[in-house]
Structure 1
Amino acid sequence: MQPRCIRGTCRSIPQPLVRMSSVGIRARFDLSGRIDYNGHSVTCQLGTFVGGYRRMCRTRSMLAATWMAMGVLSLIPLCSAETLYVTSGGNDAWSGSLRSPNVDGTDGPLASVATAVAAARRLDESVQRRIVLLEGEYFLDAAIVLDHRDNGLTIAAASKGRATLYGGRVVDGWRREGPLWVAPVPDVESGRWDFRALVVNGRLADRARFPETGTLQHESRFDVPWMSTTGGGWKRKPTEEELTTLKFRSEDLPAEIEAANAEITVYHMWDESLVGVASMDRQKGLIRFSNPSGHPPGAFGVHKYVVWNTRCGLTREGQWYLDRAAGRIVYRPRSDERIETIRVIAPTMESIVRIEDAEDITLEGLRLSVTNTPLRAGGFGAGAFDGAVHVRKSRRVRLENLEVFNVAGQGIATDGSAVTIHGCHVHDTGACGIKAPSGHIENNRVHHVGRIYPSAIAIWGGGRGAVIAHNDVHDTPYTAINCGGRDHRIEHNRIWRAMLELHDGGAIYVFAGENTVLRGNMAFDIPDTGGYGSSAYYLDERSTGCLVEGNLSYGVARPSHNHMAHGNTIRNNVFIYDGDMRLTFARCSDYTFEDNVLQASGSITFSGANVLTVMRNNLLDSGVGKVVGRTVEQYAETGNTPWDLASENVVGPARIEAYRDGRVRYESGSPALERDIGRVDVHAAGVMNADRPR
């Protein structure tokens, strides 16, 4: 018999538990009020008890704390928790209170999550409610929507990673058509269904692409100056015509391209626009879009574009396109695939779980896969799309040990406060991986984001007081971690292979950040693909009072980039690059740069060195003996900065012995050891778990 609970006292806040075996009761409790009692786990939000217990623990009055805890334990017979079970082989006419069917087949687990949510809402409000999904696959007819009626609810997998929720449906009826396979989707032909993601045998399949590699060059121009984001953007607002047309060379596009199917990615500088084709006039060399682009084609001097979803782009195994006119999917199979066993899932919804105007919701151990996006430009960071898990206007939401994958939009998107995202694996997303302002984003793996919208950001924080720590982030087309707002901590993250397609971003990018700390991070192997470049640590417009300290960067040509930022400190970092290294400070002021170790096989250039108010105790090692400071006015370098580096810095060999494991070690006699600088050890950066012990 499970214990009963005082109305309104239950709330789950996992923290380390304190054992109470000494008092003869098989119980544990933590400082938030969670109690494990004789095998039952309940949680009581008893503010007076918690505060008093914490004070007693701090003053080492453990005897008094123990007696106080025993007083609370006397309340446990008043507490209760109700669990509802769901399995794909269940029955929605059953109660859901049993994990498996009873012997006479009259009761057992439910069949659908929606029915379980409805049943949980009928329980007394004083009951702590939990829905447990047993191992299996759950194809949803509609998104699971949780609101204030579900406050305090937990939805969890019985076994981590063994229950999968799908926001799509299986496509059947495949037949051969020459080297291709085709399957009917009648709702597409009628216009009731459209999608731009397809999951084939568990992978997010590539769309048909023209050209097969690289990009095409269009001839549209937009020479209006960009006045900076805080300066209002374009000096002149683009016209509708400029946002909905593209000039092309007719010889670039095959005559058989079908306008009704074609979609175009128009590349800008730090983002892109995905647009449909309304018409194509070959004589005029003009394409009209069915939806406006975010910036005019040709803006920022960028003229790249790619055409998707056409028959002529179906050139490689594993690609597909949606033939809207014929109402079918066309797929070029891989050599190891068989038409009799192929499993294809197409998305039918934009979110799988939506949490709106709710509190104290927990999702735990689930897998979520297959979502859709509408045809529109995604904007900066591809932020215009919903998440497979989407949280709005909610508080104290906890997302733990989820796997979100093979989705067209964002993996996890929240706009609430006090959201915790912990231990999640988010990968193969069309847009962002995790977007969570003012949240705690810790111990997650996020990679291969931006599969449809390359401006996607792997982890996007913001608001106030966010913590982004101990995450592994890699293989991102744009920025790995982005954060604006104030009082954030971005610490102990391991980032590699970011900025693979777009420009003007970095491993960690801070826009309008105030009092934000970047500490103990490790960024490496980030290419420079041109344009406005890529960086390891980037403080952008209106960032002030920020601290960049104790970080490691290697394989990044521009380890530190700063733009329209003021009063920031860069201290005790190690930056290593095989080639010419640049650190840039355009339109900045009042910077402190101290106790850093820089090692480059080529030259080291400080562009904007005139803004370095403090430049001391650094070790600067150029393999060609060239360390240069350049004065910058606005964006133009006007000459060398007059400075006497040797008076307060060391210019010479750093004698770094090893660093790739995150532990920077120096040879005996290194000036870094003598000056006690560059003592950077970030080997603990990234995810902490049993597979990677610390």
Structure 2
Amino acid sequence: MTTALYVSTQGKDTWSGKLAAPNAEGTDGPLASLAAARDAMRAGEADTTYVRGGTYHLTQTLELDARDAGHTFTAYQGEKPVISGGEVVHGFRDEGNGLYSAELAQRSDLDLTVGGVRQHVAQTGVRDPANPATSGWQVIGDAPGGAAKGVFTARGTVPEGIVAHDGLKVQALDYERLSDRIADVTAIDRGAHTIALGQESQYDLRAGGTYRLLNDPALIRDAGDFAWRESDHRLVLKPQDAAHFEEQGVVVPRLGTLVTLNKTHDVTLSGLTFTDGRWDGAAVVLSGGHSNELGGNTFSNVGTGVAAYASTGNRIAGNTLHDLADSGITLEQASDGNRVYANVIEHVGTLVKGGGGITSVGSSHLTISHNDISDTARYGISLKEWGDGQLNEDNLVEGNRVRHAGQETADGGGIEMLGRSGHDTHSVIRGNVVEDSGGLATARGSGEWLTDHKGWGISLDDLTSGVTVDGNRVTGTSWANIYVHGGHDNAVTNNAGVIDNPSDSFIRVEWVPKAGDLGRPADNVVTGNVIEGAQPMDHYATLLTAGTLTLDHNTVHNAPAKGAADVVADHVVVTAAGDGTHDADWAAAGAGGFAAGAELTHFW
């Protein structure tokens, strides 16, 4: 019985695929494509395909379905196969002034890599590499007819020569910087200073918000900039290394999704590198299936790494995801019972600013544990329920290490749960380490940058209820280490926090006015926490219509007691390592501290 097939860049799809390398006669050997291996496994007895090193350029998505149950695609031992969704571009001509161009049959968009490094789509505004979050944005002005979602007024003059054309896009954020919209530009009215979007923003685009036009050659300024020239269908690039950029490899991502698992079960993808995916897609999509495994893979220069829709009981573990245009791992539409653990996720939201390292909408019974997440535009981990009937229940967020989240938006931060229905979620956030949650917005009207603005460490937002927040270490946040916004029966216990700014707090509890009486907090508990003020403070709690609240038995330094049984310490109580009680747990936070052993070994 043949239980394995092989795929190689030296292979042929007319061969049997039963050999790891071509035979001496050149008459048989490995297959050349993943699609051919998929079909051969469906037709035969093999259940595993070993993918040899090299780059495999897909021209269409590899689609797996119920016929592929029990099958595995895995890296050949010691080798690193790369699955690319991009088109390699050749034939550049020198246009002078450092610019080179190549004709394309299909227009490019907002993604381009040279030598495996993401380049910068040309944009309005001067981009400063030393200040990437706040540079290169233009300010939205007052709209005579009032703010709108589909059109906004640009403050100042839209650059001459820029007209609406196929490929020109705009990215716009309201001043609260809660959500961005990247849309086609359908019209520019220079007289009225207005720009119209082909797709409406989630929020009104009000004066003081920010925007940038993208993907026009007239905006190319710095080395690494690129754009699409509609007039002659050419990609225009200002390379950083004019002498060698083409031999390094110029790749335009074409596929949004490289692999789909549609109603599959017990399919494994391991040891593979997924790259060159479009900014608006997900490299691997799981839809409607269950019990699949994604382990030990690498995702880079794609939109989102993994997206699951109504796909349950999967394991997503031990992967490395970096330099992602949008998000790391997303779980939506009742993707219940999934386990997401021991992943390393960094540099998330390089283009789209509203996502996060690991995000969920309307999914329950999740375990999100021992992940390392760093450098995200908005969230580290976010679990949302919008009150549309898709609930989040019985979720566990444990032992994660989240650093430098919320670097380009506000009201996000390290770990968030949002619950619009106010139902009891029975969820737990425990043993996590959250450091530096950022927070960035612009001032209403003026557009001046507001740093350290609503950068929560752990946020229970919009009526989130029934959550236990226990044994976490939170430092380097703005406004509050832990935020309770409405909601009831939340317990904030045994956490340690350092408050850097006297105007900020360890705990902030407030109501949600737009929700009426339902938005009034009730029966929340804040006890047994260890709280350190980096400098003397007037308080450690901000309470704004906080409702019925038990706030007591906390140990504080550099701040006065709030509860009758609080203990005021006369020395530092939270050190760089911890608070002396949870140090071992916090040292084990993140992917390096995962101790499941055999649960990961078969992925490599």
Pick the aligned partner of 2:579 from 641, 664, 678.
664
Residue number in structure 1 paired with 2:412 = 505
Residue number in structure 2 paired with 1:584 = 508
Residue number in structure 2 paired with 1:287 = 195
Residue number in structure 1 paired with 2:17 = 96
CA deviation vs aligned residue, 1:404-431 (integer Å, no higher than 9, x gap) = 1101x21110120011100001111111
Alignment of 1:228-627 (within 5 A): 242-249=148-155, 251-260=156-165, 261-268=167-174, 269-298=177-206, 302-335=208-241, 338-339=244-245, 341-373=247-279, 385-407=280-302, 409-415=303-309, 416-436=311-331, 437-438=335-336, 439-462=338-361, 463-484=363-384, 485-512=392-419, 514-530=425-441, 533-557=454-478, 558-580=480-502, 581-582=504-505, 583-587=507-511, 588-600=521-533, 601-603=535-537, 604-608=539-543, 610-611=546-547, 613-622=549-558, 625=559
Answer yes or no: is the 8 Å Cα contact 1:596–1:678 preserved in 2. no
Counterparts of 2:318 and 2:574 in 1: how far apart (Å)?
34
CA deviation vs aligned residue, 1:312-341 (integer Å, no higher than 9, x gap) = 432222121122222111112215862452
Answer yes or no: is the 8 Å Cα contact 1:579–1:602 preserved in 2. no
Deviation at 1:620, TM superposition (A): 2.0
RMSD: 2.5
2:563 is aligned with 1:649: no
Pick the aligned partner of 1:686 from 590, 593, 603.
590
Moved more, 164-173 or 453-462: 453-462
Answer yes or no: is the 8 Å Cα contact 1:480–1:498 preserved in 2. yes
Deviation at 1:176, TM superposition (A): 1.8
Deviation at 1:679, TM superposition (A): 6.9
Answer yes or no: is the 8 Å Cα contact 2:342–2:591 preserved in 1. yes
The change in CA–CA distance for 1:605 and 1:331 in structure 2 (over 3 A counts) is same
Specify which structure has the bigger relative contact order, considering alpha-carbon pairs within 8 angstroms and separated by 6 or more residues: 2
Alignment-mate amino acid for residue 572 of structure 1: N
Structure 2 residue ranges without an equivalent (≥5): 128-134, 385-391, 443-452, 512-520, 598-604
Residue number in structure 1 paired with 2:389 = none
Partner SS, residue 116 of structure 1:
helix
2:95 is aligned with 1:177: yes
Counterparts of 2:547 and 2:218 in 1: how far apart (Å)?
53
Residue number in structure 1 paired with 2:42 = 121
Deviation at 1:101, TM superposition (A): 1.8
Answer yes or no: is the 8 Å Cα contact 1:448–1:474 preserved in 2. yes
Deviation at 1:128, TM superposition (A): 5.6
Alignment-mate amino acid for residue 390 of structure 1: V
Answer yes or no: is the 8 Å Cα contact 2:224–2:237 preserved in 1. yes
Counterparts of 2:528 and 2:301 in 1: how far apart (Å)?
44
CA deviation vs aligned residue, 1:57-93 (integer Å, no higher than 9, x gap) = xxxxxxxxxxxxxxxxxxxxxxxx6211110110111
TM-score by length of 1: 0.74
Residue number in structure 2 paired with 1:28 = none
Partner SS, residue 658 of structure 1:
coil
Partner SS, residue 682 of structure 1:
helix
The change in CA–CA distance for 1:646 and 1:247 in structure 2 (over 3 A counts) is closer
Partner SS, residue 197 of structure 1:
coil
Counterparts of 1:489 and 1:165 in 2: how far apart (Å)?
32
Deviation at 1:473, TM superposition (A): 0.3
Deviation at 1:217, TM superposition (A): 1.3
CA deviation vs aligned residue, 1:341-360 (integer Å, no higher than 9, x gap) = 23111112110001101111
Pick the aligned partner of 1:139 from 46, 57, 74.
57
Partner SS, residue 247 of structure 2:
coil
Partner SS, residue 461 of structure 1:
strand
Partner SS, residue 346 of structure 1:
strand
Counterparts of 1:82 and 1:222 in 2: how far apart (Å)?
69
Greater CA radius of gyration, 1 or 2? 1
Deviation at 1:98, TM superposition (A): 1.1
Answer yes or no: is the 8 Å Cα contact 2:339–2:368 preserved in 1. yes
The change in CA–CA distance for 1:530 and 1:286 in structure 2 (over 3 A counts) is closer
Partner SS, residue 284 of structure 1:
coil
Alignment of 1:181-196 (within 5 A): 181-188=99-106, 193-196=107-110
Partner SS, residue 557 of structure 2:
strand
Alignment-mate amino acid for residue 353 of structure 1: V
Partner SS, residue 118 of structure 1:
helix
Structure 1 residue ranges without an equivalent (≥5): 3-80, 225-237, 374-384, 628-644, 666-676
TM-score by length of 2: 0.85
Aligned pairs, number: 543
User: What is the percentage of aligned positions where both structures have the same residue?
Assistant: 24
CA deviation vs aligned residue, 1:255-291 (integer Å, no higher than 9, x gap) = 1324325321110332110122122111122222233
Moved more, 486-495 or 268-277: 268-277
Counterparts of 2:151 and 2:78 in 1: how far apart (Å)?
49
